[in-house]
Amino acid sequence: MRPTRLAAAATARLAEAGVPSARFDAEVLLAEALGIDRGRLPIADDATVAQANAYEALIARRAAREPLQHILGRAYFGPLTLAVGPGVFVPRPETELLAAWAARQVGRGAAIVDLCAGSGALGLYLAATVPAARVVLVERDPDALAYLRRNAAGAGPEVTVLDADVRDPGLPDRLTGLLGTVDLVVSNPPYVPDGAPLDREAAADPALALFSGADGLDLMRDLAPLAARLLAGGGAVGVEHDDSNGAGTAELLRAAGFGGVTEHRDLAGRPRYVTGRMET
C-alpha cells in the first residue's frame, strides 16, 4: 500500500482519538515503520505487509495516547537525541528557550550544574553547545537516573552524573568543591501544583517529576538557596516553572539573594522560565 494512503488513514484515526498533532505523529511513526526519514515519505516504495502491520501496531499505541516519545524510545532536544520512556520526564520543545538563554550566559570552560536533571536535556544541551563546559547533572529518581546515565555516557569526561536530592540538607557537603565556583545553574524541576489537571500525554510522565506541593513551589524553596550557594562567586541561574507560578519563582530567587530577576515567556506568550544573577 502507498505510504501516503497509510498516513492519511492513520491521521484520521489519531485525530478521532484526540491526538493534537495527528498528522505529524502519523508521519513520524510511518517513517519509523518503514525505516526511512520522514522527509522521504512522498517518494517511498510501497509498504510491505510486514511494514503495514508494524505501522498498525504503532498507531494503535498512539491512538491509546501513549506518548510519541515513549513509542519511539527517544526525544529530540536541540542538537540532542535523548533516550526516554516510562520513568523519566519527556523534555518539551519550550524548554529549548531556557537552554538557549543559558548557553548565551557563559563562555568556554564554564562550570554548570543542572539540578533535577531528569533525562539530562538542559545540562547535556549545554555540554554540547558550550565549548569545554564542565557539567554536573543532579538527579534523585532511580528510574530517571537510568536514562540520565545512558544519555550522558557519550558526553565525555567533563560531564558528571550525581545521584542526589536537591532537598537533602547534606547535599552542599557533597558539593563542597563546587560551592561558590559555579558559573551557571539551570533547572527544569517538578513545578506542577498538586491536583492540577494534565493532558493524557503529560500524565504519562512520572509524578515525582511533575508535582511539587499545593502551589508547585515546594522544591523551588530548597532549590533557590542551593543555587545561591553554588553561585556565591557570581553567575547566572535559569529555572523553568508552571504557568501559574512565575511570580512565586521570581520571589524565591530574590529571597535567596539573586538580582536582575527576570520573568520570560515562551513563543506562545505563556510564562515559562525565570532568570537571575548572583553578583560577587
Find out whether 41 and 4 touch, Cβ atoms under 8 Å: yes
CA distance 210 to 198: 10
As assigned by CATH, the class of the 3-65 domain is mainly alpha
Q: Which three cell numbers stand for residue 6?
A: 497509510
Task: Tell me where in the chain the CATH 3.40.50.150 domain(s) lie.
Answer: 75-278
Q: Is the pLDDT assigned to residue 1 strictly greater than 90?
A: no
Report the SS3 class of residue 77.
Answer: strand
Residue 247 grid coordinates: 511570580
Looking at residue 35, what is its pLDDT?
Answer: 96
Residues making up the binding site: 139, 188-191
Condensed to tens digits (0 to 9), the pLDDT of residues 90-148 reads 999 999 999 999 999 999 999 999 999 999 999 999 999 999 999 999 999 999 999 99
pLDDT of the residue at 13: 98
Q: What is the pLDDT of residue 177?
A: 87
What are the binding residues for substrate? 188-191
Q: How confident is the model at residue 82 (pLDDT cuts 50, 70, 90)?
A: very high
pLDDT, average across residues 189-198: 96
How many percent of the chain have pLDDT more than 70? 100
pTM above 0.75, yes or no: yes
pLDDT at 154: 86
The conformation of residue 199, written as its DSSP 8-state character, comes to: -
Burial of residue 142 (CB within 10 Å: 0-12, 13-18, 19+) is exposed
Q: Which residues are annotated as a binding site for S-adenosyl-L-methionine?
A: 139, 188
Question: What pLDDT was estimated at residue 78?
Answer: 96
For 145-193, the pLDDT digits (tens) are 999 999 999 898 999 999 999 999 999 888 888 999 999 999 999 999 9
Which CATH number fits the domain 75-278, given the four candidates 3.50.50.60, 3.40.50.150, 3.40.50.300, 3.60.15.10?
A: 3.40.50.150
Q: Does residue 25 have a pLDDT over 90?
A: yes
The Cα–Cα gap between 124 and 71 comes to 22
Q: Report pLDDT for 176.
A: 82
Exposed e or buried b per residue across 8-21, where buried means at least 16 C-beta atoms within 10 angstroms of its C-beta: eebbebbbeeebee
DSSP string, 254-271: HHTT-EEEEEEE-TTS-E
CATH 1.10.8 domain position(s) in the chain: 3-65
